[in-house]
């Protein structure tokens, strides 16, 4: 992980982030998970930059991962979990390019975001049919607080609170 840096994304990063998210979506589709297919075009990424803090991780100046940290839940939360208390922050689109997965970059991005929230709470959701990802979040101290159907998939809602560790 030499020459690795995490920084806030900017407008010039939009094409590379969209490409990264789509490469991850294609890789997941090849592994039987299609929930990211056809979601992430450049307009989606631009809207994310307007509504959330999007962070990128670069290796030798090439974007190899990203994550979005926002103050509002995703739209499907209201349908999926209408009675869940709000969190201070919401994490979405944690993605690492398939060529760089299993090398610790996702861990670095998640640790970075956890460092940003201070004593705040963070929620995220994950599809139930991705056990490696569910275990990844649990290892960081995220607790499953709910489950439901959202965007056509069975999903778990996780929360991180410093007092829950």
Domain ranges in the chain? Answer: 4-164
Rg (CA), the chain: 15
Transcribe 108-135 into DSSP letters.
Answer: HHHHHHHHHTTT--EEEEEETT-HHHHH
The stretches of the chain forming alpha helices (DSSP H) are: 14-30, 42-51, 76-80, 105-116, 131-139
Give the per-residue pLDDT at 11. 97
Lowest mean pLDDT among 2-6, 27-31, 91-95, 96-100: 27-31
Q: What is the pLDDT of residue 165?
A: 47
pLDDT exceeds 70 at position 164: no
pLDDT at position 163 is: 67
Q: What is the pLDDT of residues 36-66, one digit of tens each?
A: 656 678 999 999 999 999 999 999 999 999 9
What's the average model confidence in pLDDT over 10-23?
Answer: 95
Q: What is the pLDDT of residue 35?
A: 61
pLDDT > 60? residue 90: yes
Q: Is the pLDDT of residue 116 over 90?
A: yes
Name the one residue in this structure whose structure tokens are 């349908």: 79
Give the chain's mean pLDDT: 90
Q: Which fold has domain 4-164?
A: Aminopeptidase (3.40.630)
**Residue 106 CB coordination number (10 Å):** 19
pLDDT on residue 24: 87
Quick check: 80 and 149 in contact, CB under 8 A?
Answer: yes
50 vs 25, more confident: 50
Mean predicted confidence (pLDDT) in 136-149: 95
Q: Write down the residue that tokens 């649990």 correspond to.
A: 138
């Amino acid at each position: 992980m030499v020459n690795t840096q995490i920084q806030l994304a900017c407008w010039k990063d939009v094409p590379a982030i969209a490409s990264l998210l789509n490469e991850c979506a294609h890789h997941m589709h090849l592994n039987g998970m299609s929930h990211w297919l056809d979601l992430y075009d450049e307009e989606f990424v631009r809207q994310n930059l307007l509504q959330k803090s999007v962070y990128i991780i670069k290796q030798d100046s090439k974007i190899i991962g990203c994550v979005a940290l926002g103050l509002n839940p995703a739209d499907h939360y209201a349908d999926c979990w209408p009675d869940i208390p709000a969190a201070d922050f919401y994490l979405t689109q944690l993605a690492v390019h398939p060529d760089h997965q299993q090398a610790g970059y996702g861990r670095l991005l998640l640790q970075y975001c956890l460092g940003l929230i201070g004593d705040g709470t963070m929620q995220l959701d994950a599809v139930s049919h991705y056990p490696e990802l569910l275990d990844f979040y649990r290892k960081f101290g995220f607790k499953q607080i709910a489950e439901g159907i959202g965007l056509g998939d069975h999903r778990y809602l996780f929360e991180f609170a410093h007092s829950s560790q």
